[in-house]
Structure 1
Amino acid sequence: MKDKEKTEKILKALQHHFTSWGRCNVLFPELRLGSGYSDISQRRIDLFMISAAKGNYTTAFEIKVSRGDFLKDIKDNLKQRGARLYATNFFYVAPEGLIKPEEVPV
């Protein structure tokens, strides 16, 4: 399975999980961090969620399916910093074993 297919599969699983069982969440896949053409404005959050039942609590999910992509993301953390401007929480979502817990920036 190609990386894009893996990413889409994880995205669909997240969407299903956070919209099933009557959960009051609004999901925005591939949400741009801004308008215009600056470097940060063109970056996208894989999935942005607003939890209406929790007082509009916001969460950003960044899906990683390759180790190289994760390492690149933590080295150049512009997208992560941009996502944290809008989200209460920021999570990496990856296949088990791809990311070591101690590698995740806090």
Structure 2
Amino acid sequence: MEQRSGRVTPTGYVSVDVEADGPIPGPFSMVSFGAVVAGWHDGAGFRRAEPGAAAAFHRELRPIAEEYDPRAPAVSGPARAALEAGGAAPRSRCGSSGSGWSSCGPAPKGCGTGR
């Protein structure tokens, strides 16, 4: 929280989570990520986001690495075959979320290249 000229600039808190199909980046793929607004601090205190009313985003991605841990879907969700068939292309990882988060900025170097 930042104060300028006696006014408090509200601070938003966002919780972010990613799931991968293996234990380390590089040889394995990030297969999903999500974010949700947890709440705000506005100088009067912290206010939690109302359950179900907070802006949220979730995207499942098509794997880009050939190697994967077959036990990963028990943690991360959909089976690899389902992600290969219906996951979003990593370069289009954001798009319109319907929650006001319409862009995640430029793709990181190597994003979606399989390297």
TM-score by length of 1: 0.26
Query: Could you say which structure has the higher strand fraction?
Result: 2
Query: Could you say which structure has the higher helix fraction?
Result: 1
